[in-house]
Structure 1
Amino acid sequence: MSEYFDLIIQGNIVQEDTVVHNGVVAIRDGKIVDIFDRIGNLNAKEVIQANDCYVLPGAIDAHVHCYSSVDEGFTTASESAAAGGVTTIIEMPYDAPGLIGTEELFVKKKEQLESQSIVDMALLATIKPENGLDQIPLLAKQGACGFKLSMFNTDPNRFPRINDALLYDVFSEVAKTGLPVGVHAENDEIVRGFIKKYEILGEKDPRSHAWSRPKFAESIAVLTAMELAYWTGVHLHIYHCTFPRIFELVEYFKGMGTNITAETCTHYLTLTEEDMLTLKAKAKINPPLRSKEDADGLWKQLKNGMIDIVTSDHAPWTIDKKNRSNIFENASGAPGVEVLLPILYGEGVAKGKISIIDLVNLLSKKPAEIFGLSSQKGKLEKGMDADIVVLDPNQSWILDETKQHSSAGWSPYHHKRMQGKITHTFVRGNLVYDGEDVVGKPGDGQFIFAKH
C-alpha cells in the first residue's frame, strides 16, 4: 500500500549540495516527510508537476525593516515576501514608534506579527543606550534570534548610536546568551565630517551622498567591531557590507578564530553610485552604493564562499520621503524583500556568476544557521518545515513597480527584465503565492523561536 501525503511537488529539487532532477518532495502536516528520486506510486491530495522548474527551500531574508515606515507593517511586507519567494523574514528592531529594546515591547511585537503576517518571522532585538544591558538575557529567553546595534546615529530615539565602550559591554553580555550580535558599521565622526564637506553639492549631484560616506568610514567601523568581537568571544554579524575589502578583513579575523559572519545586499551587487544620476534618492541607501568594480568583486566573493549571506535591507519608504531635490534631505533605503530571490537568481544564477547551489546556501541554509532557525528552516530535508518555492528558470518578465506589494509603491528595478519566475510559494505546506496573486492571509505566519 502506497503512502498518502497532503502535497507532492515534483521538479528539480535543490538541496545544499546537490540537485535531485525530477525528484519529489512529499509533505504532510506542514513538514517534509521525505524526498524521493521519482514519483513512483506516491499519492497525495494535491500533486504539482513542476517539470523543468527548480524546487527551492524558501528564502530567508535576514534584513527587513517592516516598521521603519509606518505605512508598511507586517502584512504588507509579508505579502511582498510571499510574492518574492521569501518564506521567513528576520525583522529589524528599529520601529518608527521606537526601538524594540525591552522584553515587554518584544512580546507585544511577537503577538502582533502572529495576527498580521502571512509568512513566518523571527525577531531581532536591540538595546536602549542608557539602560539596556539588563534586558539582554530576558530578550534571549523570549526567543530573539539576535541583537542589532548601530555604530552610526541615524536617529537618537529610533536608531541610536552605541558608542564603542558600551559596544564592548553589550558584546560581553550577548556572548553569554550564544546569540549573534550584528552591527550597522559606519564611523559616526567620519560620516558627519564628510557630510559637512559634501552637503554643498546636495542640490547638484545625488552622488554626493555616496561621497559623504567613504569606504574607510565603513571599514574602520568594521575593524572596531571585529576587534571587540575578538576580545569578547561574541558571534558578530556585519550587516550590509558594500565592497570587497570588508570581506577580506573578515577573513583575516576569522583566521584568528573570531566568530564572524557578514552579508551583502542585492543593491550592492546590481547598482552603483552612477545609478544615482538617474534614480536619484531612490538609490540613496546607507551605507551607499559603490563602484562597478566593487560590485564585480562582490560577485566573485559570492562565488568563492567569502560572503555568508545576501539580504535585501528592505526599507520601504513611500515616495514622498524620496522626492526632495537635495539628496541629503531624503530618507535612506529602498524596498527589496520582493526582489531578493528574483534578483539573485536572474543576475547571479542565470548569468553564470553563481550556481543554484550557491543561491540556496546564501538565501536559505546559511541565514537559518546564523540566526538559530536551522532546526526548522533553510533546507529541503526530511523533518524540516515545508517552506518551498517553485521557480521556472525559462520564464522572463518585466518588473513593474506598480504590481509590487510593498506600500512604497516604487522599485529601483522598475522596467528591469527579470529571468526566472516564481510560480508557487509555500509556508509550512500552505500556498501563500500562486504565481499571480498572494493567497495567504494575515495570521498564517508564525513567530519562529530561535534556538542557538
Structure 2
Amino acid sequence: MDKDLIVKGNLILTDDILYNSYLTIKEGKVSAISSIKPTSEELKASKFIDATDKIIFPGVIDAHVHCYSSIEEGFGNATRSAAAGGVTTIIEMPYDADKLICTSELFEAKKNLIENETYVDVAMLATIAPKNGLDQVPLLAEAGACGFKVSLFNTHPVRFPKIEEGELFNAFHKIRDTGRPVGVHAETDSIVTKFIEKNIANGNDPLSHCKSRPKVAESTAVLTVLELAHYSRVKLHLYHCTFPRVFELIEYYKENNLDVTAETCTHYLTLSEEDMKVLKAKGKINPPLRTEKDKEGLWNQLSQGKIDMVTSDHAPWLLEQKQNENIFDNSSGAPGVEVLFHLLYSEGVHKNRITIQQLAKLLSENPAKRFGLGHRKGKIQVGYDADFIIIDPNITWEIDESKMHTSSEWSPYNSKEVNGKILNTFVRGQEVYNGEIAVNKGVGEFVHAKFD
C-alpha cells in the first residue's frame, strides 16, 4: 500500500476536470486518480500535498527547443529553464552550433549528455545531411529519434542547411518507412534571398527583417512539402507557422487524408511586427512576426481546434548577439521555454480564448502523440509518467528576465504581466521546481520514441 505521493487539487484530464480530487503516484507513475479521499493509513504512508483549488495540469511537452544552437545554453540551462516553466519534456532540435545530428554516432553521443546534464526529460529529433545521408535514417530511428527535421531554407550551410526538393522527396520515402514524422522549416529559400537583397540597405529599420521574409515565402514552402508528403505518404509536421492562411492550406490536406500536423509559437500569438520598433533585434525570429490581424486570426484558429500544438522555438542567443544596429547582423530567435505555459494560460485560458482542456491538448497530449511519446507522456492517466505541474490561477505577476534560468539573460516578454503562476513542477513524481530549482542536474532521462 506504500504510496510515494498523493496530491489533492483540480485535475485536468483528457476528457474531464476532477475538482478537488486525488492524484496518487508510486514509483514515478500515476497509480490512482480518485475523487474519494484516501484513508488515513494511505495518507500516513505517503507524502501529501494539499493543493485544494489549485490546478493540477499535465506536464508540458515543448516540441521545439534548441539547446545547442547557442553553445552556452546546453541541456543544463535549457532544461533548468524548462523545469521553472512547467515543461517536463523537451524535444531537442538536431542543429547544434557546429554540426548536424545526422548520424547514429552523433545522436548517441548527444543522447549520452542527458543523464548528467538535465533537469527534465528529453526526446531528440535527428536530421539528414545534404546529399548521401539517407542510409542513416533507419539507424537514427532505431536509436530512438522521435522524428526528423529538415529545412527548405539555407539558414547556414553547415549547421542548418537547405535540403533540395528532389533529395527531400527521396528522404520523405525513407523516413516514411520508419513510421516517424518529418518536420519542416518551411520558407522558400530563393524568395527570402531576393527579399533580403531588396531590404538589406534599410537594415537600421527593424521592420526590414519582417519585410525580407514575406508570407509568400512561407506559404509556397508549405505547399511544396504538403505535396511531397501527399505523394510519399510520410507523416508530416510543419514548424512555427505564422499566419492563418497556412493553417487553411493544411486543413485542406487534412481533409484529403494527409497525416499532417502543424504548430504555431508563443511569439506569433503574443507579439506582432509592430513590436519590432521596441524589441528591435530581440524580436528577430525566423519566420518573422506578422501583423496584429494575423495574431488574432491564429487565436481564432486555436479556439476552433485548427492548430495542433504551440511551442516556444526556444533559441536563447546571448545578448551580445542581439545588439547590432543593423537588424540583419543579429542572430534569429528568442528564449521561450520558461514562459510557454504561462503566456498561453494567461493570454488563452484566463482571457477565455481557449479552455484549459484545449490548452492541455495543445501543450501536452498532441505533441506526445505526434512524436512517439504518447505511450508514457502527455496526460494525467494511470500507468503514465507522473509528470504534472501545480498552478495557482489567482496569482498575477510580471515576467522578470533577470530571474529566468536560461543563459541568454533576456526575454522579449520582460515586464509583461501574466495571470496564473506555476508553484511546482514534477517529473516522474519527483519535484524539480518549487519556486526554485529543487534538484541537482542529471535527473532527466532520454525518452525513446515509440510508434505503432
Structure 1-normalised TM-score?
Answer: 0.98
What whole-Å deviation, never above 9, does each CA across 1:243-275 have from its counterpart, x for those lacking one?
A: 000110001011111110000000000000010
Name 2:55's counterpart in structure 1: 54
Name 1:142's counterpart in structure 2: 143
SS at match of 1:127: coil
Residue correspondence of structure 1 range 309-348 to structure 2 within 5 A = 309-348=309-348
Give how far 1:131 is off.
2.1
Contact 2:131 2:167 in 1 (8 A): no
The AA in structure 2 aligned to 1:339 is V
SS at match of 2:297: helix
Name 2:13's counterpart in structure 1: 15
Name 1:283's counterpart in structure 2: 283
The AA in structure 2 aligned to 1:45 is S
Give how far 1:200 is off.
1.2
Q: Distance in 1 between matches of 2:423 and 2:162?
A: 42
SS at match of 2:301: helix
Name 1:133's counterpart in structure 2: 134
The AA in structure 2 aligned to 1:104 is E
Match among 31, 36, 39 for residue 38 of structure 1: 36
Q: Tell me which stretches of 4 or more aligned residues in structure 1 moved more than 3 Å.
A: none
Contact 2:195 2:213 in 1 (8 A): yes
Name 2:173's counterpart in structure 1: 172
Give how far 1:336 is off.
0.2
Give how far 1:45 is off.
2.4
Give how far 1:179 is off.
0.1
Q: Distance in 2 between matches of 1:197 and 1:443?
A: 48
Contact 1:268 1:290 in 2 (8 A): yes
Q: Distance in 2 between matches of 1:337 and 1:16?
A: 23
Percent same amino acid among aligned pairs?
56
Name 1:86's counterpart in structure 2: 87
Contact 1:424 1:431 in 2 (8 A): yes
Give how far 1:440 is off.
2.2
Residue correspondence of structure 1 range 382-401 to structure 2 within 5 A = 382-401=382-401
SS at match of 1:89: strand
The number of aligned residues is 448
The AA in structure 1 aligned to 2:229 is A
SS at match of 2:4: strand
The AA in structure 2 aligned to 1:9 is V
Q: Distance in 2 between matches of 1:79 and 1:282?
A: 22
Give how far 1:113 is off.
1.4
The AA in structure 2 aligned to 1:37 is S
Q: Distance in 1 between matches of 2:61 and 2:36?
A: 28
1:439 to 2:438 alignment? yes
1:234 to 2:234 alignment? yes
Give the gaps of 5 or more residues in structure 1.
none
Q: Distance in 2 between matches of 1:39 and 1:211?
A: 59
Name 2:364's counterpart in structure 1: 364
1:114 to 2:112 alignment? no
Give how far 1:5 is off.
1.0
Give how far 1:396 is off.
1.0
Contact 1:210 1:289 in 2 (8 A): yes
Name 2:101's counterpart in structure 1: 100
Name 1:183's counterpart in structure 2: 184
The AA in structure 1 aligned to 2:126 is A
Q: Distance in 2 between matches of 1:106 and 1:31?
A: 28
Contact 1:244 1:301 in 2 (8 A): yes
Contact 1:22 1:38 in 2 (8 A): no
Q: Distance in 2 between matches of 1:38 and 1:219?
A: 52
Name 1:426's counterpart in structure 2: 426
Give how far 1:130 is off.
2.4
Q: Distance in 1 between matches of 2:373 and 2:108?
A: 19
